[in-house]
Amino acid sequence: MQVKLHSPTFGEDEIAAVVEVLRSTNVTSGWKVKEFERTFSPNAVMVNSGSSANLLAVSALCNPVMGALHPGDEVIVSALSWSTTVWPLVQHGLVPVIVDIDPETLNMDFVEVARAIGPRTKAIMPVHVYGNPCDIDRLMQFKNRQWIIEDCCESLGAYWDGKPVGSFGDIGTFSFYFSHHITTLEGGMCVSNREITDLMRILRAHGWTRDLEDNSHYCDLYPDIDPKFLFVNAGYNLRATELQAAIGLIQLGKLNGFVESRRRTAERLSEIFSHYDFFQTQCETPKGRSSWFGFPITVKDGPTYPNAKYIRASLENIGIETRPLICGNIARQPGMKLWPHRISGDLKHADKVMRDSFSIGCHQGMTEESCEYIKDTFKKIL
């Protein structure tokens, strides 16, 4: 038997929707992208990946129109994060300040955040790790003094106190990569207020005004320039396609079912691993409702406890896929040596995760049989 890290969420409905778009020949970003954005959130901007969503969010806050962040400003990030949480910061001349995690929730430790704030600190970029919401009450204590970008790329469908993640900070970013809660194969989304959303629409496509809901303001300012080709800022090409949006519209209707399935599997796996003294599994944040991107497992320290590398190799050999937890500790990745950054504290918990943690699948394709296989397998190898 195999227990994969993920199984495809799309099927014949999505394939038919893609074929319909192809037959229409309207395949570049258009009305389906707009429909997907409106269905997702009142102020949403679809892009071609979750990494691009992070890039666009940071770019908007650094843009002269906003003037929120400037080269040399510091942004606090979690040591346990993905590379493209951090790379847009250094690409804009910002300085990541890396803080440790809470070893139980695996999220940013807000005690460490408070200690890390300095005179150049202008923003905080938390990651809701593996679908587990951060402690939003603690995060919001910083909001009046810091800009907040919520990296929700692995936490679509997660809630804090009944409200979706991504709706608390100044900008929220999401990913629809193949292995995520829903997919557009590649794709992402930014959500924010109207002012920032309009700017992100301009930056998403060459600094162009064409994607704005209302570009009359710019047309009035520059009456001598053809409004079809009016460029008012710098920009990228981060646009998604109509094919991606067509898939996303169908997938979005399935999201709640996928999350419920993940939550049931996580409950069953938590029960299985509760019988082992030497394993620690991720704790759901109080007031949070995790969407369980995967199922993280940490091997505790102890002279007689098993080795994480041995466990992972044993699992892979008999068909249970594993993976490290995100980047482990981003501060230890060699790419960070190339860029200015600051480390706050000893990052011992993130180091522990990098050394002794891994995850297994927790998705809509898993069954009770899958969980029983995992249970029996761990009995054998341990």
Report the distance separating Cα 375 and Cα 85, nearest Å. Answer: 34
- Reported as a single tens digit per residue, the pLDDT across 144-186 is 899 999 999 999 999 999 999 999 999 999 999 999 999 999 9
Task: Please count the structural domains in the chain.
Answer: 1
Closest by CA to 291, choosing from 357, 364, 360, is 364
Model confidence at 319, in pLDDT bands (50, 70, 90)? very high
Average pLDDT of span 243-254: 98
Which of 188, 269, 280, 194 is CA-nearest to residue 236? 188
CA distance 1 to 87: 38
d(C-alpha 219, C-alpha 228), whole Å: 10
* pTM recorded for the entire structure: 0.97
pLDDT of residue 149: 98
In what side-by-side order are the strands of the sheet with 295-299?
A: 279-281, 295-299, 357-360
**Which pair of structure tokens corresponds to residue 30?**
């258009």
Q: What is the pLDDT of residue 382?
A: 85
Question: What would the pLDDT profile of 213-228 be if each residue is shown by its tens digit?
Answer: 999 999 999 999 999 9
Residue 143: pLDDT above 90? no
Residue type (1 letter), 381: I
Of all residues in the chain, the percent with pLDDT exceeding 70 is: 100
156: CATH: 3.40.640.10
With CA atoms as reference, report the closest residue to 363 among 267, 272, 263, 289.
263
% residues pLDDT > 90 (the chain) = 97
Residues forming the active site: 180
> In the prediction, which pLDDT does 239 show?
98
What is the extent of the structural domain holding 177? 1-382
Written as one letter, the residue type at 121 is: T
Query: Which pLDDT tens digit goes with each residue over 83-92?
Result: 999 999 999 9
Greatest C-alpha distance within the chain? 77
